[in-house]
Amino acid sequence: MTMTAKKEKAPGWSREEMAARAALDIPGGSYVNLGIGIPEMVARYVPEGREVIYHTENGLLGMGPPPAPGCEDPELINAGKKAVTAIPGASFFHHADSFAMIRGEHIDICVLGAMQVSEKGDLANWSTGAPDAIPAVGGAMDLVAGVPTIYVITQHCTAEGEPKLVESCTYPLTGQGVVSRIYSDLAVIDLTPEGFEVAELAPGVDFDYVQQRTGCKLRKGNGLD
Amino acid sequence: MIDKRIGSPAAAVADIFDGATVLIGGFGEAGSPIELIHALIDQGAGNLTVVNNNTGSGHVGLAALIENGQVAKMICSYPRTTNSKVFPELYRSGKIELELVPQGTLAERIRAGGAGIPAFYTATSVGTPLAEGKEIRAFGGREYVMEYGLRADFALIKAQCADRHGNLTYNKTARNFAPIMAMAAKTTIVQASSIVELGEIDPEVVVTPGIFVNRVVLVANPAQESRLVAEGRTYP
């Protein structure tokens, strides 16, 4: 990948570019669950010609794009409680069946956001553990426990500049050793038995730049110099 | 003759007693049996344990039931949403108890309860704070946490179509928890948008067989929770 350093703005991928990069790794024929936020945008970028079926855990397989304004149905929503559509070939089912698809390893890929990911693949994405917070978990723990491939899309650092890729998570865990690959604004990073391995760098970003913004040691993947 | 139809939401919820455990269907507003919940507010039973994925929004439906002081404990997976104000305030001031359960574990606990399964093991939540204090057991080299089946005194659910035997169909993603809740309650109370003659629902498309249903009340034009919230409505 070419390096084009642009001084005028922070280097790296935009939210859309992160989603688009992740979308390249969704094979045709996959059953996929997309989390709320940037992960939802992945569906827009899956290359043409790949048939991918989207699952939303509130009870729909074959979720389509949002409806045209004025055509929203309050009883046809996704897990984020937003109006969606159902594609031809879609099905509705109750919650126990929906989570059997997740917990029974029938969904192939799940794309989620993260507060922290550890070098062991632990994910924290449901609670900061703050004493006054209202704890809320939804289906996150079910997804990471049951879906074989967990991709994370996240900014590399918090808004305060703290690394989100760390040696071990300080926030309460969602699951242990569950993350396969991370798409950050700076790099694509794989979880390996030896820890984080950089597979690709965003334009204008070099390995040291990513390392400086990561809370533990990174390794270079085969694709990097 | 078996006839589970009952004349009004008030009559349908009349025997819900203080301290009862009540399963309430719905994922957000989709599938929320709002007329049955309002009838329960009018009826006034208190000290309830309520099971729902969320805690309602605005000041109508489930949020109004909580606001009215009738709920001692919520069992749910996601107690805060954009318009949920009532539960967070009560929770922070220690006036309501919360049992937080992962969404799939919640669904499976209800399904298991309805199927006569007292407990089961799941990989969900292993290694997290939600597994603390629970039995962990390894099967095939992987750790699982034991969770209990969940049964209840009553279920309040919303269906699209019913007959007098209690056979039910639902509308799209409003189905969510209703079929499993119907199985897990001693008394399942249904509000249906239409009630049809026996045989009009094709047996091949019945989602909830009538054996899981005790009472059916017709609510032909159910209120839409988000519309009530947008209008700033309150209940009672």
B182-208 pLDDT, tens digit per residue, is 999 999 999 999 999 999 999 999 999
Any A CB within 8 A of B126 CB: yes
Total domains, chain B: 1
Is B234 among the domain residues? no
Task: Given the residues A16, A17, A40, A57, select the one marked as catalytic.
Answer: A57
Q: Coil, strand or helix: which one is B194? A: strand
A23-32 pLDDT, tens digit per residue, is 999 999 999 9
Residue A58 clears pLDDT 50, i.e. is over it: yes
Any B CB within 8 A of A53 CB: no
> Contact B172/A73, CB-based, under 8 Å?
yes
- The pLDDT, as a whole number, for residue B190 is 98
> Contact B123/A102, CB-based, under 8 Å?
no
Burial class (CB in 10 A: 0-12, 13-18, 19+), B13: buried
Residue whose pair of structure tokens reads 């007959």 in the numeric block: B163
Q: What is the pLDDT of chain B when averaged over all its residues?
A: 97
Count of pairs with CB atoms under 8 A, one residue in A, one in B = 143
User: CA-CA distance, B89 to B59, in Å (whole number)?
Assistant: 13
CATH, residue B205: 3.40.1080.10
- CA dihedral over B200, B205, B209, B213, signed as positive or negative: negative
Residue of A nearest to B75 (CA): A136
Q: How confident is the model at residue A72 (pLDDT cuts 50, 70, 90)?
A: very high
Is B4 among the domain residues? no
Q: How confident is the model at residue A4 (pLDDT cuts 50, 70, 90)?
A: low
Q: Enumerate the residues of chain B whose CB falls inside 8 A of the CB of residue A86.
A: 172
Residue numbers of the domain that contains B163:
9-225
Domains of chain A listed by start with CATH number = 15-42+107-220 (3.40.1080.10)
Is B77 among the domain residues? yes
A89-142 pLDDT, tens digit per residue, is 999 999 999 999 999 999 999 999 999 999 999 999 999 888 888 999 999 999
Q: Enumerate the residues of chain B whose CB falls inside 8 A of the CB of residue A83.
A: none
Longest alpha-carbon distance in chain B: 55
Buried b (16+ CB within 10 A) or exposed e, A201-222: bbebbebebbbebbbeebbebe
- The pLDDT, as a whole number, for residue A6 is 45
Distance from CA of A133 to the nearest CA of B (A): 8
Nearest residue, CB atoms, B124 vs list A58, A136, A142: A142
- The pLDDT, as a whole number, for residue A8 is 55
Q: Enumerate the residues of chain B whose CB falls inside 8 A of the CB of residue A121.
A: none
Give the residue-averaged pLDDT of B148-177: 98
B74-119 pLDDT, tens digit per residue, is 999 999 877 888 999 999 999 999 999 999 999 999 999 999 999 9
B18-46 pLDDT, tens digit per residue, is 999 999 999 999 999 999 999 999 999 99
- Please name the residues in contact with A48: beta carbons below 8 A apart, sequence gap of 6 or more: none
Active site residue A40: no
What percent of chain B shows pLDDT beyond 90? 97
> Contact A145/B98, CB-based, under 8 Å?
no
Any A CB within 8 A of B179 CB: yes
Any B CB within 8 A of A88 CB: no
Best residue in A81, A98, A147 for a mutation probing chain B (most B CBs within 10 Å) = A81
- The pLDDT, as a whole number, for residue A7 is 47
Residue A75 clears pLDDT 50, i.e. is over it: yes
Distance from CA of B38 to the nearest CA of A (A): 20
> Contact B104/A139, CB-based, under 8 Å?
yes
Any A CB within 8 A of B193 CB: no
User: CA-CA distance, B225 to B228, in Å (whole number)?
Assistant: 5
> Contact B30/A137, CB-based, under 8 Å?
no
Residue whose pair of structure tokens reads 């639902």 in the numeric block: B170
Any A CB within 8 A of B194 CB: no
What percent of chain B shows pLDDT beyond 70? 100
> Contact B180/A94, CB-based, under 8 Å?
yes
Is B233 among the domain residues? no
Any A CB within 8 A of B218 CB: no
Give the residue-averaged pLDDT of B36-58: 97
